[in-house]
Amino acid sequence: MAEFRKETLKCRILVSVNVVGRGIDVEEMDYVINYEIPNSHDSVYRFIQRCGRTGRTRPGTTYTFYVEAENKNIAPGIAKVLENAEQNVPEFLIHGLSHEIQKSMAEISVNYKIQHESGN
């Protein structure tokens, strides 16, 4: 960790497990990337804490991989946490990814039809 914290490092990427993800403070952390969403009530709090690491000293961004087949059952809970934190709740957490994909495909179809009919 001491080596990682040196500002002279050209590339500062830390890949860790929950043990390292809890309680560490690294200044100027711009991004946190979560490859899994927690599957138990207790680990949700660790997950939220880890996401908050980017905002300790300045604004940051958190990305989380969401796999509907694995995470669909916890989507309502995630939506509630986001809502309680006054954050935007992605539509796919409310309606599911398949609904969002169908909606996007319909928009693409309409746009294609408009462009095709106008001769562009």
Q: What would the mean pLDDT of 33-46 be, rounded to a whole number?
A: 68
User: For residue 42, what pLDDT is reported?
Assistant: 60
Helix or strand or coil: residue 74?
A: helix
- What's the rounded Cα separation, in Å, for the pair 60 and 2? 22
Q: What average pLDDT score do residues 99-115 get?
A: 81
Go through the domains of the chain in sequence order and give each one's CATH number.
Answer: 2-94 (3.40.50.300)
Residues in the chain: 120
The whole model's pTM is what? 0.54
Burial (0-12, 13-18, 19+ Cβ within 10 Å), 47: buried
Segment 14-26 shows an average pLDDT of 64
What CA–CA distance (Å, rounded) separates 17 from 99?
33
Q: Which of these, 37, 106, 47, lies nearest to 72 by C-alpha position? A: 37
Give residue 23's region: left, alpha or beta (phi > 0; psi -120 to 50): left
- To the nearest whole number, what is the mean pLDDT of the chain? 73
Rounded mean pLDDT, 57-74: 77
pLDDT score, position 91: 84
pLDDT tops 60 at residue 54: no
Q: Are residues 30 and 60 in contact, defined by beta-carbon separation less than 8 angstroms? A: yes
